[in-house]
Amino acid sequence: MRRLITDKLPEQLKLRFALWTRKAVAQLLNKRFGLKLPVRTMGLYLKRWGLLRCAHPCGAVCGWLSRSARLTPQKPL
């Protein structure tokens, strides 16, 4: 599941979302495995999987982006 989220966009998996959100991941779980989880519970799973929430208003999941950004050396201004 984690690999699907980090390797694909929701649109590629025929979901009606532009970015990964807790709701989008919950819908993917329902579609793939028939599991219905509340959005809040999905947030707990995402946190456990190391996928953090952005400060973006839509609540998009982008932990893998923030982790890769930390690995990139920062250039002085």
pLDDT digit string (tens) for 16-37?
Answer: 988 888 899 999 999 999 999 9
User: Mind spelling out the 3-state secondary structure of 30-54?
Assistant: HHHHCCCCCHHHHHHHHHHCCCCEC
Higher pLDDT, 15 or 68: 15
- Higher-pLDDT residue of 54 and 77 is 54
